[in-house]
Every structure is written in C-alpha cells, then in structure tokens.
Amino acid sequence: MKRFEERKQDLKNAKNRLKEALEEEEKDITVDGVLHRYEFTFELAWKTLKDYLEYLGVSLNTGSPREIIKESFAHNFISDGETWIKMMLARNSLSHLYDEESSRQLYESIKSEYFYEIEKLVEFLDKINL
C-alpha cells in the first residue's frame, strides 16, 4: 500500500519538524509555528491511521477524525483515546484562536502531552511493513 507508506513517511517528517519547533526558544513567533506544525502533523496522523484501518479492511461509516480515533483505540493502535480526542478538538479550535492566552495554553498542551502521543504513534507505525 504505497499511499500508507508515503503518508507514514510524511508523518514522520512532520513529527520531526514539530519537535524542532518545540525545541526553539519560546517566543510569540515560535508558538505560532508550533501551532501550525501541530495542525499539519495531527492531520497526517489521523489520515495515516485511516489508511491503515482501510488496508486492514476495517469498515468505516464516515471516515471522520473522531471515528478514526475511536477505531484506532479499539484496535490498540493508540493507547490514550481521550487524549487523542482532546488533540482533535485542539486542532479544530486552531481556526478560532484569537487570543494569546488560548494559544499559549494549546502550545503547552502540545509540548507536555500531545507531542508524546504523536511520537508513540510514529513508533507504532514504524513497526508496520506492508
């Protein structure tokens, strides 16, 4: 499944770029960059999971991020379904963030919790060879 392998590599690259941004000195421009890279990385994460579920023949009703997260948790591809739902809601909120305090809170969640979940997913996916 070429698309899965390509998306998996894109996710790995995006995760590395997000890590680079998180390691930078925390300034307003850095926070903005982290939020943007998080959005992109999260999109690749759930779409890569969707590709893998489809490869395995899992029937999906809508193919929505929420459904993909639930199915991925049910199949033990991710271990913390609640955090992934929070991650999805955080990604959804990005287009509605207008104040610095909310941006900083999301930045801290990415740094302290969400990036770890993405790293665990990439490690899991790295073990899959189709």
Distance CA 102, CA 100 (A): 6
- pTM, 2 dp: 0.94
**Whether the predicted pLDDT of 75 surpasses 90:** yes
Please give the mean pLDDT across all residues of the chain.
94
Which tens digit of pLDDT belongs to each residue from 7-24? 999 999 999 999 999 999
Distance CA 122, CA 112 (A): 17
Q: Maximum distance among all alpha carbons in the chain?
A: 45
Contact assessment for residue 4 and residue 49, using Cβ atoms and an 8 Å cutoff: no
pLDDT at 97: 75
- For the chain, give every domain's residue range: 2-126
Which tens digit of pLDDT belongs to each residue from 76-96? 999 999 999 999 999 999 888
Query: Which CATH topology does 2-126 take?
Result: Four Helix Bundle (Hemerythrin (Met), subunit A) (1.20.120)
pLDDT band at 40 (very low <50, low <70, confident <90, very high): very high
pLDDT at 98: 76
